[in-house]
Amino acid sequence: MSFFKKVSMTLVTKLICLVIGTVSGIIVARWLGPYGKGILAIAGAMTGALLQFGNLGIPSSLIYYGSRDPENVPKLAGLNFWIALVLGTLLGLVTYSIVTFNPQWLGKVPFNIFVFALLLVPFQFFNQLYQNLLLAVQRIFTFNIFILIETVLFLVMAVTVVVLLKKGALAIILGQFSIAVLLAWGYYLAVRSFSKIDLIPDFDLLKKLITYGLIFYVNNFLAYLLLRSDLFLVNYFRNTSEAGIYSISATFADMLTLTPQTIGMILFPTLSAARPEERAGYTAKVHRFTVLLMLCLCVISAFIAQPLIVLLYGNAFAAAGPPILWLLPGIFFLSLETIFAMYYASEYLPAFVPISWAVSLALNVGLNIVLIPKIGIIGAAITSSIAYTLVFVVLITQFMRKTKTPLRELFILRRGEFKEIIDGIKSFKPAGKQPDQA
């Protein structure tokens, strides 16, 4: 399967899941009301935070080591089991202990819902690890099928629980737990279909996973802070209403980054598995295609963002439109930065990558402190674009210096590549069965 088909299939799957997920969220919100939806949101945020900040970057290191040496896959599959069991359980127990001594942190969330949400963590961690193992071995069709199945199962469960059975938030959490267990068994069988699962821990390989994972973890944590810090600063320096309006601008920007994130997700294992001498040329080619794609998306967004926001959210959120125009340059360069980040990730992620995020974060916070009190959410958008662009400049400069790639090779499509795009679009048939392997 070609790289274009892998990206297209994954992007289509994500868009379908986005629509289904939105429908599920609307159903749950309308039937449970603000209180019930709030409970689920808090429970979901808690488990999401545990998975995001407690995974030590291991999901990313799985892709790195699994794609570079397929002989590692049986050992990695076995390590996944123990990592999910031990680390997932440990995260749950630590959180349980902290909340037991500080029950006020739960607010009005029932304790039984809190407990069942914690029980989800080991299974969700297991599923996350096995998802990334599928990416590592380029089982993209299987990967997308599982994502789609999970989204559809949640919709069916939500309709059954809240519409037909008239149950509440606890039943939804129990339903999520059942889905997570079912998917864990499915992932196990899927991996067993192409690899043995060696349950005897390889501690040398585990050490490598954690060492590389921690580098990736620090990088992702700094990137997360940079991408989200402006919203908190708007709330601090202005008010909650402006933060709510700016959140719509940020959501629109996040939608634009869905495409480069998907490209990067497929690119990372592809580059990790490639020979060192092939990585720079492949990265440059993907970057050229991404430049064209994101330029088109950003130009279109500049014209449709304002009327689309008013149509979807109403006139009360019309002020979210102008910040998007200031965010678009940053989103464009952030999207391109993703391509170089995947190249460096395949090269064991050199230190200057997280350092560039740290410097950009400091710059972003400093400029926000000056601009947000004066010009509000427009200032937040401007500083974000400046910070994102700085990261891009650092990464592309280092790439050009290391690989001796001229600037033209990174931005101008070669002769015949337009035809390659058209042929790829014509050959992509989302309804047909797609093999996992190229």
Q: Residue 26: in which H helix or E strand, if any?
A: helix 3-54
The per-residue DSSP string of 264-309 comes to: HHHHHHHHHHS-HHHHHHHHHHHHHHHHHHHHHHHHHHHHHHHHHH
pLDDT band at residue 104 under the 50/70/90 scheme: confident
Give per-residue pLDDT as tens, 199-253: 999 999 999 999 998 888 888 888 888 887 888 888 888 887 788 888 888 888 8
pLDDT of 327 > 80? The answer is yes
pLDDT band at residue 425 under the 50/70/90 scheme: low
Tokens for 397? 């400069």
Tokens for 310? 């008013």
Section 149-161 average pLDDT: 94
DSSP H helical segments within 314-376, as ranges?
A: 321-346, 352-375
Q: What pLDDT, on a 0 to 100 scale, did the predictor assign at position 373?
A: 92
SS3 assignment, position 364: helix
Give per-residue pLDDT as tens, 252-276: 888 899 899 999 999 999 999 888 8
One-letter amino acid identity for 185? W
Contacts of 289 (CB under 8 A, 6+ apart): 413, 417, 421
Give per-residue pLDDT as tens, 385-401: 999 999 999 999 999 99
Q: What pLDDT, on a 0 to 100 scale, did the predictor assign at position 431?
A: 41
The per-residue DSSP string of 190-237 comes to: HHHTTS----S--HHHHHHHHHHHHHHHHHHHHHHHHHHHHHHHHHHH
Section 133-148 average pLDDT: 94
Domain boundaries, the chain: 1-201, 216-427
Q: Residue 254: in which H helix or E strand, if any?
A: helix 240-273
Lowest mean per-residue pLDDT among 86-95, 108-117, 358-367, 416-425: 416-425
Lowest mean per-residue pLDDT among 101-115, 297-311, 342-356, 373-387: 101-115
Section 329-340 average pLDDT: 95
Would you say the C-alpha torsion 164, 166, 172, 175 has a positive or negative sign?
A: negative
* Nearest alpha carbon to residue 13 among 132, 179, 146, 176: 146
197 by Cβ neighbours in 10 Å (0-12 / 13-18 / 19+) ranks as: middle
Residue 344 has a CB neighbour count (10 Å cut-off) of 19
CA 107 to chain centre: 29
pLDDT band at residue 432 under the 50/70/90 scheme: very low
Contact 219, 353 (CB under 8 A): yes
pLDDT of 18 > 50? The answer is yes
Give per-residue pLDDT as tens, 109-130: 788 888 888 999 999 999 999 9
Section 171-192 average pLDDT: 94
pLDDT band at residue 424 under the 50/70/90 scheme: low
Lowest mean per-residue pLDDT among 21-30, 65-74, 79-88: 21-30
Q: How far apart are CA 42 and CA 37, in angstroms?
A: 9
